[in-house]
Amino acid sequence: MNATPLAIPDVLLLQSRLWEDDRGFFFESFNQRELKELVGREVTFVQDNHSRSSKDVLRGLHYQVTRPQGKLVRVVAGEVLDVVVDLRKSSPTFGHWIGQVLSAENKKQLWIPEGFAHGFLVLSDTADFLYKTTDYWAPDCERCIAWNDPELAIDWPISSGPIVSAKDAQGVPFHLAETF
How far apart are the C-alpha atoms of 71 and 73, rounded to whole Å?
6
Residue 139 has pLDDT above 90, yes or no: yes
Does residue 146 have a pLDDT over 90? yes
DSSP SS3 for 44: coil
What pTM was estimated for this model as a whole?
Answer: 0.95
CATH code for residues 2-176: 2.60.120.10
User: H-helix or E-strand containing 143?
Assistant: strand 142-144
Per-residue confidence (pLDDT) for residue 106, from 0 to 100:
97
Cα-based angle 14, 65, 88 (whole degrees, multiple of 5): 60
Q: How far is CA 44 from CA 11, 81, 87, 121, in A?
A: 17, 26, 21, 27
* Section 163-175 average pLDDT: 98
Residue 159 has what pLDDT? 82
Q: How far apart are CA 172 and CA 104, in angstroms?
A: 32
Q: What pLDDT score was predicted for residue 52?
A: 98
Query: How many residues comprise the chain?
Result: 180
Cβ atoms within 10 Å, residue 108: 18
Single-letter amino acid, residue 130: L
Please report the pLDDT score of residue 160 as a whole number.
Answer: 86
Where in the sequence numbering do the catalytic residues fall? 62, 131
pLDDT at residue number 164: 98
- The proportion of the chain whose per-residue pLDDT surpasses 70, expressed as a percent, equals 100
Percent of the chain with pLDDT over 90: 94
**Cα 1 to Cα 83: distance, rounded to the nearest angstrom:** 22
pLDDT computed for residue 100 by the predictor: 98
Domain ranges of the chain: 2-176
Q: What is the pLDDT of residues 37-96, one digit of tens each?
A: 999 999 999 999 999 999 999 999 999 999 999 999 999 999 999 999 999 999 999 999
**What's the confidence (pLDDT) of residue 66?**
95
Between 27 and 172, where is the model more confident? 172
Cα–Cα dist 69/149, whole Å: 22
Mean pLDDT confidence for 117-136:
98
- Digit-coded pLDDT (tens) for 60-71: 999 999 999 999
Task: Write down the mean pLDDT value for the chain.
Answer: 96
